[in-house]
Amino acid sequence: MDPATLAAVAGSSLVGAVATDAWQQVHNGVVALWRRFRPDRADQLSEDLVELRQEVLGAQAEGDEGLQDALAADWQRRLSELLRRQPDLAEELQRILDEVLTPALPKEASSRVYRQSIVAKDNGRAFGVQGGNLIYHEGKEAGGDPVGATG
């Protein structure tokens, strides 16, 4: 899975999974990833996940899908940034997605995991919208290959 797709799917899955009975496993898996690749930020991330859980539980109680979408977008951005800084963690993030996040999702939350592929070719622009969030990519990679965008 390309890094943009991986970040998008993992971010959406994380938001869906933190409000489940598998919360502790989700928390431990994501913190372990951060501890391995960004140890200086692992304790803060742990606190951020606790806060995320409270926000998601509150949004669910109020039926606020917009807030859940915004939280997913924020975590997609965080994971995308982490993958940009340390591309070698993609395999580990994929493992956590497959073994921890996805299995934790209840059926109703799994419908909130967005997968969308957009390709910009020949210096073109690609736009996509998910849950009210605009995703924009432009141009070619250095090698001349099209830039794929997924959100």
- Per-domain residue ranges of the chain: 3-110, 117-150
Block means of pLDDT (10 residues each) for the chain, length 151 residues?
A: 89 92 94 91 95 95 92 93 91 94 77 55 64 54 48 45
* Predicted local confidence at residue 38, as pLDDT: 87
- Cβ-based neighbours of 130, under 8 Å, separated by 6 or more: 8, 69, 114, 116, 151
* Predicted local confidence at residue 137, as pLDDT: 52
Burial class of residue 27, CB neighbours in 10 A (0-12, 13-18, 19+): buried
